[in-house]
């Protein structure tokens, strides 16, 4: 039993969450790219002195659930970090997600004692690779997706490594923006260091350490108690990705979820072997999806920290699409396969607790990337955005329309900010009326967004899903409408495959129609 009284525990827990939230706000406000400052494609968290997640801001699930593995990778390489150090890592095979997600880890000391770690992750809109945006359709190994960064010291004793920064800048199409975003990440970690130090000064390092451990134990007890309320058993489900971006062959993901008392085991045995294209999901991503679903279904009000994941065991055979071996490409695994993993987990748990599980949401992030030269400045630009769609209907109410769901939690880029930043025009941006499934509770509608190119030469990439297989309804509800990707040129209209990279010219239009959500219950 914890020696920390309940009031101190709750006050400290909320203070730690507040530190993470404030760091996230600072990161967003000081970033250069619209992808971070407008879309908030970033996440912040606080770790204890042992590298255990103790608090996170309510940012992006796929970032936050996997960030502990990046912190562990940094500590494995460097052991003890000195005050003022900051470690940069972007390696999907060392706790990362995909190459554009750069993670910074910094130790926090108080009166010479290590009291924790600050960490944040931000999606950089270009890190090299075979196409602008570093997520080319058809990539067959990770080297085609950009610069892979093992744990390296970006800062030593508070001083930036100028040589490393030059190396990073030489491997991106947009170096000024990259440095601006990276330094915003540095500043966010420094803010976390300062606030955590202030908390240690108020409580004392010993009480802070005990309170951190107590909040982990409290989360574990809460999740275990919630699991004990669910019916024991093993529940299986399978679903498919449209393709891998190289061939048209569907990629199966299979799961067996076992509830046994106060523990949950997720077994992906039987899922597809790793594939040639980029839909392979690194183990950190797969684990993150499992943590998200555990929390969403069993204990949504429990703080998200290392304690909450203790009742979870993930079995993901190496060499499969949910645990690939290097050098498999992984860009779409982070953003697309993560969504399908959530779908199969919810499909399995719907058999155990049907009153808690929604129909399938859009099941994709609708990744859209454009890069080229901005004729207004003569400089390179890269645009990246995930687009909202239909939410699956809930057991007691319809799904929401035009929202981000599950493993993504970003905002949209406002049209005014978009057109100021990029040589493109938003011609159309509206809901796809009727794209949600029909049923007692209808699925949410997707979107239709049309972008017109205002530059003479650019490259467009789309990484999407649910174009060939619709989001499913549950309990007799209808499926949502699949999405579509269109390229409209002077020669006519071409329907693009789910994953494609194309050269485009001035006046060409890219149309993204996002899927609707499935319905819940018969009409």
Q: How confident is the model at residue 3 (pLDDT cuts 50, 70, 90)?
A: confident
Per-residue confidence at 66, pLDDT binned at 50, 70, 90?
Answer: confident
Residue bearing the bigger pLDDT, 357 or 58: 357
Mean pLDDT, residues 15-31 taken together: 97
| Cβ partners under 8 Å of residue 222, min gap 6 | 299, 302, 308
What does the DSSP assignment read for 103-151?
EEEEEEEETTEEEEEEEEEEE-S---SSSTTS--TT--SGGGG---EEE
pLDDT, one tens digit per residue, over 271-316 is 999 999 999 999 999 999 999 999 999 999 988 999 999 999 999 9
Instruction: Give the model's pLDDT for residue 59.
Output: 76
What mean pLDDT is predicted for residues 3-23?
95
d(CA 242, CA 291): 24
pLDDT tens for 127-177 read 999 999 999 999 999 999 999 999 999 999 999 999 999 999 999 999 999
What proportion of the chain, given as a percentage, has pLDDT over 90?
95
Task: Give dist(CA 262, CA 232) in Å, integer.
Answer: 9
The strands making up 499-504's β-sheet, listed across from edge to edge, are: 380-385, 367-373, 458-463, 499-504
Three-class SS state of 61 = helix
Q: Which residue has the tokens 């024991």?
A: 232
The answer on pLDDT for 447 being more than 70 is yes
372 membership: H or E segment, kind and range: strand 367-373
Sequence ranges of the domains in the chain: 6-219, 358-523
**Closest to 236 (Cα-Cα) out of 252, 213, 214, 250:** 252
**182-192: string of b/e by CB count within 10 Å (b at 16+)?**
bbbbbbbbbbb
Work out the mean pLDDT of the chain and round it to a whole number.
96
Q: By the 8 A CB rule, do 177 and 152 touch?
A: no
Structure tokens given for 256:
């067996």
**Mean pLDDT throughout 343-347?**
98
Averaged over 336-346, what is the pLDDT?
98
Query: 3-class SS at 238?
Result: strand
Instruction: Give 382-404 as a DSSP string.
Output: EEEE---BPPPPPSSSPPPSSB-
pLDDT higher than threshold 80 for residue 1: no
**Residue range 185-199, pLDDT digits in tens:** 999 999 999 999 999
Residue 94 pLDDT > 70 = yes
- CA atoms of 284 and 436, how far apart (whole Å): 31
pLDDT band at 114 (very low <50, low <70, confident <90, very high): very high
The β-bridge partners of 485 are 496, 512
Question: What would the mean pLDDT of 100-109 be, rounded to a whole number?
Answer: 98
Q: What is the CA radius of gyration of the chain?
A: 22
Compute the distance between CA of residue 208 and CA of residue 201 in angstroms, rounded to an integer.
9
| Nearest residue to 407 (alpha-carbon basis) of 473, 338, 350 | 338
Query: Greater confidence, 60 or 404?
Result: 404
**pLDDT score for 2:** 62
């Amino acid at each position: 039993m914890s020696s920390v009284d309940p009031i101190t525990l709750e006050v400290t827990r909320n203070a730690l969450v507040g530190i993470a939230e404030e760091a996230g706000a600072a990161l967003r406000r000081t970033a250069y790219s619209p992808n971070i400052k407008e879309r908030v494609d970033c996440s912040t968290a606080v770790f204890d002195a042992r590298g255990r997640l103790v608090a996170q801001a309510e940012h992006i699930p796929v970032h936050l659930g996997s960030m502990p593995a990046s912190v562990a990778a940094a500590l494995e390489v460097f052991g003890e970090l000195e005050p003022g150090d900051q470690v940069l890592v972007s390696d999907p095979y060392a706790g990362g997600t995909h190459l554009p997600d750069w993670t910074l880890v910094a130790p926090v000391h108080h009166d010479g004692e290590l009291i924790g770690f600050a960490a944040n992750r931000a999606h950089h809109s270009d890190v090299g690779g075979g196409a602008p945006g570093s997520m080319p359709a058809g990539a067959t190994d990770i080297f085609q997706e950009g610069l892979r960064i093992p744990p390296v010291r970006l800062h030593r004793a508070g001083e930036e490594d100028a040589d490393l920064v030059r190396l990073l800048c030489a491997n991106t199409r947009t170096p000024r923006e990259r440095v601006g975003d990276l330094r915003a990440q540095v500043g966010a970690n420094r803010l976390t260091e300062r606030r955590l130090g202030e908390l240690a000064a108020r409580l004392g390092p010993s009480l802070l350490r005990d309170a951190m451990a107590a909040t982990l134990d409290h989360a574990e007890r809460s999740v275990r108690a919630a699991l004990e309320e669910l019916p024991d058993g093993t529940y299986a489900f399978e679903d498919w990705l449209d393709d891998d971006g190289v061939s048209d062959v569907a990629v199966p993901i299979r799961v067996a979820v076992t509830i046994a008392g106060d523990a949950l085991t997720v077994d992906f045995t039987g899922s597809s072997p790793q594939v040639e294209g980029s839909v392979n999901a690194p183990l950190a991503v797969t684990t993150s999806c499992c943590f998200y679903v555990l929390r969403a279904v069993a204990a949504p009000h429990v703080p998200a920290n290392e304690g909450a994941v203790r009742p979870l065991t993930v079995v993901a055979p190496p060499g499969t699409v949910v645990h690939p071996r290097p050098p498999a490409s992984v860009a779409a695994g982070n953003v697309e396969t993560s969504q399908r993993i959530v779908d199969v987990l919810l499909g399995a748990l719907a058999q155990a607790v049907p009153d808690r599980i929604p129909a399938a949401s859009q099941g994709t992030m609708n990744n859209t990337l454009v890069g080229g030269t901005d004729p207004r400045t003569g400089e390179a630009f890269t645009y990246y955005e995930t687009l909202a769609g239909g939410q699956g209907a809930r057991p007691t109410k319809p799904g929401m329309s035009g929202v981000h769901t599950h493993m993504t939690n970003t905002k949209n880029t406002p049209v005014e900010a978009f057109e100021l930043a990029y040589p493109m025009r938003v011609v159309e941006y509206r809901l796809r009326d009727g794209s949600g499934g029909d049923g007692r509770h209808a699925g949410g509608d997707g979107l239709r967004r049309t972008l017109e190119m205002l530059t003479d030469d650019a490259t467009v990439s789309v990484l999407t899903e649910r174009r060939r297989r619709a989001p499913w309804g549950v309990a007799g509800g209808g499926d949502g409408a699949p999405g579509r990707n269109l390229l409209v040129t002077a020669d006519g209209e071409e329907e693009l495959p789910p994953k494609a990279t194309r050269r485009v010219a001035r006046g060409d239009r890219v149309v993204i129609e996002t899927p609707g959500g499935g319905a819940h219950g018969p009409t």
